[in-house]
Structure 1
Amino acid sequence: VSTNLARMRSTEAKGAKKERPPLASFATVERWTLHSNLGRRYARVSGDSNPIHLYALSAKLFGFKSHIAHGMWSKARTAAALQPLLHSDACRLTTEFKLPVFLPSAVELHYNLHETLSSDQPNNAGIDFELRSVRGEKVHMKGRIEKI
């Protein structure tokens, strides 16, 4: 199931900026360096050659300040990092995309492993995660992966 939303201009007057809630605390952090050619490499593998992922110039034509990492790459890379920690081949991955990841850059995967060993809830083990900027103030993606 895929739900897609689009932003539209509003006719309502802008209000005061909302206070951001404090960021969640996570026990483990993994840093990834994302090179400028990541979008082109992903396009060769996936067949998805969207110009916003390929070059800074082509992304600027669509209103971005630079080219961005593909959201499905971010999701797949997160799944590859976290799924082995569940010790299960079957899992459910839920993600929310928050902000684009501009290339080149570095990001950090923050996560907490929650393991329930009780016999009445044997499949409750899961990992909550956030993909953040290196400075930690921007959340690009967040979600949970769990055994099913």
Structure 2
Amino acid sequence: MRHVFQCTLRWSDMDAFGHVNNVVFVRYLEEARIDLMFRLAEEAAAGSSSPGGSFRGGSVVARHEIDYRRPLVYRHTPVTIETWVTKVNAASATLDYEIKDTEEVYARARTVIVPYDLERARPRRLTDEEKSFLEGYFDDSAAPGLR
């Protein structure tokens, strides 16, 4: 299953050439990832006896890869960001994304996240609840590499 997030473009996202600046794409990925890993995971954990699936323990980005496919021009309609999980390890997970609309794919991206213990300031392992939540969004159909 893929997570679908509608991201509103902001006037300030444009660069001097009239299209969304490449750096802003990372912010769009962050917005979609936060919606998945915090809002949806927290909702899923709310029905559980353990809140460990909400990623409130912390996480950090270890790596980003982005392939820019087409310029994204500012408009009033949101852009769709699909996010899915391609790999879950004991202490990291890999998320893939497409930033697109019905006609175009503007970017494909990949992020490696590492769960992080904020109190101890060090990486930690994924909890069983976090793994289970992420596995619900597993789709390896595009996993070999960004295209």
**Alignment: residue pair count:** 93
Structure 1 unmatched ranges of 5 or more: 1-25, 41-49, 53-66
Q: Contact 1:110–1:130 (CA<8 Å) still a contact in 2? A: yes
Structure 2 unmatched ranges of 5 or more: 38-54, 115-147
TM-score by length of 1: 0.52
Q: Which has the higher contact order (CA 8 A, sep 6+)?
A: 2
Q: Do residues 69 (structure 1) and 20 (structure 2) align?
A: yes
Q: Do residues 113 (structure 1) and 79 (structure 2) align?
A: no
Q: Deviations over 1:13-57 (max 9, x none)?
A: xxxxxxxxxxxxx6111011214x2236xxxxxxxxx521xxxxx
Bigger Cα Rg: 1
SS in 1 for 2:71: coil
Q: Percent identity at matched positions? A: 15
Superposition deviation, residue 79 in structure 1: 2.6
Runs of 4+ residues over 4 Å off in structure 1:
none
RMSD across aligned positions (CA): 2.5
Quick one: distance in 1 between partners of 2:26 and 2:61?
Answer: 16
Report the structure, 1 or 2, having the larger helix content.
Answer: 2
Q: Do residues 32 (structure 1) and 7 (structure 2) align?
A: yes
Quick one: distance in 1 between partners of 2:69 and 2:61?
Answer: 26
Map of 2:119 onto structure 1:
none
Report the structure, 1 or 2, having the larger strand content.
Answer: 2
TM-score by length of 2: 0.53
